[in-house]
Chains A and B, each alone.
Chain A
Amino acid sequence: MRSKAIPRALWALCLAGLAAGEAQAGDLAAFFVVGNGIPEYLSGQPGDPERGREIAIRRNKGNCLACHKMPIPDAQYHGEVAPDLAGVGSRMPEAELRLRIVNPKIVNPDTMMPSFYRISGLHRVAKQFRGKTILTPQEVEDVVAYLKTLRDDTD
């Protein structure tokens, strides 16, 4: 129903972190891409929407607000370079939300959006971030859990 960029039959096993061996991040957790989504929890357990909201706001974490307008009225400054995330939980199934955070380039290679759980295929990453993902698996799940609450079809 959404992007047809990835054939539904394609199963991609992503073991991107094998080469890096950076202490803090270590190897990436393996995940399966099914169609346009990642159906399973990255961390093996569901996220906490409250924490996800905080991560979305924090500049040194998700910083989703840098680019996206979001239904967070207490944060005054919202970006204008990416789609409004109000109602995104109604528009996109959980698996797709997860893939969009992990690596949105899988569905849209030209997107400006960073891949929040990826360490390979990047150019000149600053030393202190090399081999590290922007978010941890649990933080990805927290953001997914938060985005799932952004529904516009409930009232």
Chain B
Amino acid sequence: MRRYWTGVPGVVAAVLLLAATTGAAQEGSAVYGDIMNDPRIKDHIVGDKHSGYVYATVATRDMQEDDFKNPAFTWVGLAEDLWGAAEGTAGKSCADCHGAVETLKGVSLGYPKYRDKTANMAALEHVINECRTERMGADAWKWESDQMLGMTAHVKLQSRGMPIDVAIDGPARPFFEKGREFYFQRRGQLDLSCNMCHLDNAGNMIRADLLSHGMGNGFPTYRLKWQKLGSLHRRFTGCNKNIRAEPFKRGSEEYTNLELFVMWRSNGLPSEAPSVRR
């Protein structure tokens, strides 16, 4: 361990670290100083729930509000093309069954959703892939592929501004309980649970980062750190890695149950996908 302190690798690491620290610091106080004075945040606070928008910088919000500036719309554009493209052995496109994408208005708000067929929770990604493999005879898309990210953004865009509304009663209940258990379970070498940062310390700084309330209503989100659109499960992976915990696979039952819990927390907040975040 002490090798860090001597030799070339140590010096390089120290310099890189210093650069990173300085960069974050300069970005810092000026950026967060006025975020609560922006009148736009009132539409993103419902009761005691704060959308990630409330913890975003003013510049980030400006980017999200303008579809021409929001980089996520590159992926939405890709999905617009995919919507009408026939694929697979059935030679069908999304449009062949669904018609215009606008017919899906409101549909995404209830996901993840329990399905008898699989006897578990399905995220929007799961049902999109089911359409592809079962009705189109096409290959499933990878969870974090441009196509999947674009299509989830495209579908969720139809519900923009409408309140998130996932159900946790009936058969969804045990999956909700598993999601809750995950949320409150300490994990990783740092021995932290989700709630410690995102429930108990939302709005507090953890070094150069402002802790959000951990809501899911903006996903998929264009994250400046990623320079890319990304899924909620990718964000879970990042959080888990930050606390030095072994992540689960994107699309796994564990993360889908956690998504259910997180989306339940987000119930009532406006759907903002595709949002822009730090």
Q: Which residues of A contact B (CB under 8 A)?
A: 24, 51, 58-61, 63, 65-67, 75-81, 105, 112, 114-115, 122-127, 129, 132, 134, 136, 138-139
Instruction: Please name the residue on chain A nearest to B190 by beta carbon.
Output: A114
Contact in complex: A127, B246 (CB < 8 Å): yes
Q: Pick the contact of A126: B1, B17, B206, B241 (CB < 8 A).
A: B241
Q: Judging by beta carbons under 8 Å apart, are B246 and A126 in contact?
A: yes
Contact partners of A59 in chain B: CB under 8 A: 17, 20-21, 207
Assuming the A-B contacts A79-B207, A136-B1, A136-B2, are A123 and B201 also in contact, with contact meaning beta carbons closer than 8 angstroms in the complex?
no
Q: Cβ of B17: which chain A residues have Cβ within 8 Å of it?
A: 58-60
Question: Across the interface, which residues of B come within 8 angstroms of A123, CB to CB?
Answer: 185-188, 191, 245
**Complex Cα spacing A136 to B21, Å:** 24
Residues of B within 8 A of A (CB): 1-2, 4-5, 17, 20-21, 24-25, 28-29, 185-192, 196-197, 200-201, 204-208, 211, 240-241, 244-247
Q: Indicate if the CB atoms of A77 and B28 lie closer than 8 Å.
A: yes
- Residues in A with CB closer than 8 Å to B187 are 122-125
Q: Which of B190, B208, B246, B247 has the most CB of A within 10 A?
A: B190
CB atoms of B205 and A114 under 8 A apart: no
Q: Which residues of B contact A78 (CB under 8 A)?
A: 205, 207
What are 22 A-B pairs at a CB distance below 8 A? A61-B4, A67-B206, A76-B28, A76-B29, A77-B207, A78-B207, A79-B205, A79-B206, A80-B206, A81-B204, A105-B191, A112-B192, A112-B201, A122-B186, A122-B188, A123-B185, A123-B187, A123-B191, A124-B245, A129-B244, A134-B190, A138-B2
Chain B residue at smallest Cβ distance from A132: B189
Total contacts A to B, CB within 8 angstroms? 94
A65: min CB distance to chain B, Å: 6
Chain A residues with Cβ below 8 Å from B24 are: 77
Chain B residues closer than 8 Å to A126, beta-carbon distance: 188-189, 240-241, 244-247
Give 20 A-B pairs besides A76-B28, A123-B188, A125-B189 with Cβ atoms closer than 8 angstroms: A51-B5, A59-B20, A60-B17, A77-B24, A77-B207, A79-B206, A80-B205, A81-B204, A81-B206, A81-B211, A114-B190, A122-B186, A124-B187, A125-B187, A126-B188, A126-B241, A126-B244, A126-B245, A126-B247, A127-B246
A129: B residues at CB distance < 8 A: 188-189, 244
Q: Which of B201, B205, B211 contacts A77 (CB 8 A)?
A: B205
Whole-angstrom CA separation of A112 from B243 in the bound complex: 12
Give the chain A neighbours of B190 by CB distance below 8 A.
Answer: 114, 134
Give every chain A residue within 8 A of B246 (Cβ-Cβ): 124-127
> Of A77, A125, A139, which contacts B25 at CB under 8 A?
A77
Query: Is B245 within 8 A of A125, CB to CB?
Result: yes
Given A123-B186, A125-B245, CB of A75 within 8 Å of CB of B21? yes
